[in-house]
Amino acid sequence: MNALSDRLKGLIAAQGPLSVAQFMALALMDPEHGYYARRDPFGETGDFITAPEISQMFGELLGLWLVQVWRDQGAPAPLTLIELGPGRGTMMADVLRAAAMVAPDFLAAADVVLVEASPTLRGLQQQRLASAPARISWRPSLDIEEVSGPLFVLANEFFDALPIRQFLRLGEHWHERVLALTPEGELGFAVAPMPAQALVPMPGRMPPSEGDLFEICPLGLALCEHLASAIARQGGAALIIDYGYGTTAGYADTLQALKAHAYVPVLETPGEADLTAHVDFGALAAAARHGGAAVYGPCAQGAFLDALGLRQRCAALTRAAPDAAHVLSRQLNRLCAEDQMGQLFKALALLPQHAPRPDGF
């Protein structure tokens, strides 16, 4: 137990149970005790490692992908290049370096906007990108209405951190799973006695059975639909990469807490472990279609990176630095192998209806 547990208990005692989404939002972003608000969680010595922290090749390939979709749409200028949840800023540094090599005109036309809620990570991003060849500004959240003109959006492991709600199937109804106090006064999961109104899981899902758990990420779906409608209207593209379900989601509890590269119980030390849930790519794709965009994928990360030329990039880097051959091939394996990130992680792209099919899909 810790300070955030005490706060959560106080909140529940004062105002009743919290939804899983409220719990997740506080555990991740509470300004005083939140996980992201206070620390740098990445890397071998942190709690988890992400694709851009594994290899520079990841961000480089995304940079080249962006330049290509931008050219496919007639190289519009000016443009806004947005990254959601940039972590340490590593991926954007790699994206900008690769783009600068092949398309200085892309960078000259770009206003880069980094959307980051954590002041600590924003500080790291500012350091990392201090000498980057681009105009960069930061926002704590994204107001899409503010963006005029085409927008090119990248999000790697951002949607998995957005708060989800969970519902349990009991009889003919879904009941929300909540965080409440046990008789001993500890934090525990419980189920709201009143059924949720009008909750309809995505069409195409299996009919639910007793005890099934349904997850929904309202913020992620709303954001995806907004991005899609802005892209459909103004041009641009969004590339969403994350771990999760492909076209059809299951009915399982996927909320997980990770600390020092190991799973820990979700309620054990809130605010001290990363909390994420499977991204439902089928639901994101449906939200994006509803917003008016053309949707490509989801496509497995391994196949996507392969199609973008990861192996060729790896071979080129190996020729330039033969001593690093072993390290580079290990990086490639971690990004692409089926038992690593290659299959569980997926890519989804949103484009305007008239734009050509993007590379990799």
The nearer residue to ligand SAH, 73 or 276, going by C-beta atoms, is 276
- Confirm or reject binding of residue 50 to ligand SAH (CB under 6 A): yes
- Confirm or reject binding of residue 118 to ligand SAH (CB under 6 A): yes
- Confirm or reject binding of residue 30 to ligand SAH (CB under 6 A): no
The nearer residue to ligand SAH, 91 or 179, going by C-beta atoms, is 91
Are the beta carbons of 279 and 242 closer than 8 angstroms? yes
The residue range among 114-122, 180-188, 227-235, 295-303 that interacts with ligand SAH, by the rule CB under 6 A, is: 114-122
Rounded CA-CA distance 338/360 in Å is: 17
The nearer residue to ligand SAH, 36 or 65, going by C-beta atoms, is 36
CB of 154 to ligand SAH, least distance (A): 8
Contacts of 58 (CB under 8 A, 6+ apart): 51, 52, 91, 94, 156, 305, 335
- Confirm or reject binding of residue 141 to ligand SAH (CB under 6 A): yes
Contacts of 257 (CB under 8 A, 6+ apart): 263, 264, 265, 266, 268, 273, 274, 275
CB of 141 to ligand SAH, least distance (A): 6
Closest CA to 151 of 94, 68, 241, 70: 70
CB of 116 to ligand SAH, least distance (A): 5
Rounded CA-CA distance 331/56 in Å is: 9
Q: Could you say which of 30, 47, 94, 116 contacts ligand SAH (CB under 6 A)?
A: 116
Question: 3-state class of 173 per DSSP?
Answer: strand
Q: Could you say which of 17, 59, 63, 87 contacts ligand SAH (CB under 6 A)?
A: 87
Are the beta carbons of 254 and 278 closer than 8 angstroms? yes
Q: Could you say which of 34, 63, 85, 342 contacts ligand SAH (CB under 6 A)?
A: 85
Closest CA to 170 of 203, 189, 197, 195: 195
- Confirm or reject binding of residue 213 to ligand SAH (CB under 6 A): no
CB of 30 to ligand SAH, least distance (A): 12
Cβ-proximal residue to ligand SAH, closest one: 85
The residue range among 46-54, 260-268, 290-298, 303-311 that interacts with ligand SAH, by the rule CB under 6 A, is: 46-54
User: What's the 3-state SS for 106-149?
Assistant: HHHHEEEEEECCCHHHHHHHHHHCCCCCCEEEEECCCCHHHCCC
Q: Which helix (H) or strand (E) holds 315?
A: helix 310-320
130: tokens are 């201090």
Closest CA to 282 of 297, 304, 301: 297
186: tokens are 């500890």
The residue range among 73-81, 95-103, 158-166, 250-258 that interacts with ligand SAH, by the rule CB under 6 A, is: 158-166
CB of 326 to ligand SAH, least distance (A): 23
* Residue whose structure tokens are 């349990």: 168
Rounded CA-CA distance 30/319 in Å is: 47
- Confirm or reject binding of residue 245 to ligand SAH (CB under 6 A): no
Q: Could you say which of 53, 60, 212, 215 contacts ligand SAH (CB under 6 A)?
A: 53
- Confirm or reject binding of residue 86 to ligand SAH (CB under 6 A): yes
- Confirm or reject binding of residue 121 to ligand SAH (CB under 6 A): yes
CB of 312 to ligand SAH, least distance (A): 23
Size of interface with ligand SAH, in residues (CB under 6 A): 21
Residues facing residue 259 across a β-bridge: 262
- Confirm or reject binding of residue 115 to ligand SAH (CB under 6 A): yes
Residues that bind ligand SAH (CB under 6 A): 28, 36, 42, 50, 52-53, 85-87, 91, 115-118, 121, 141, 156-158, 161-162
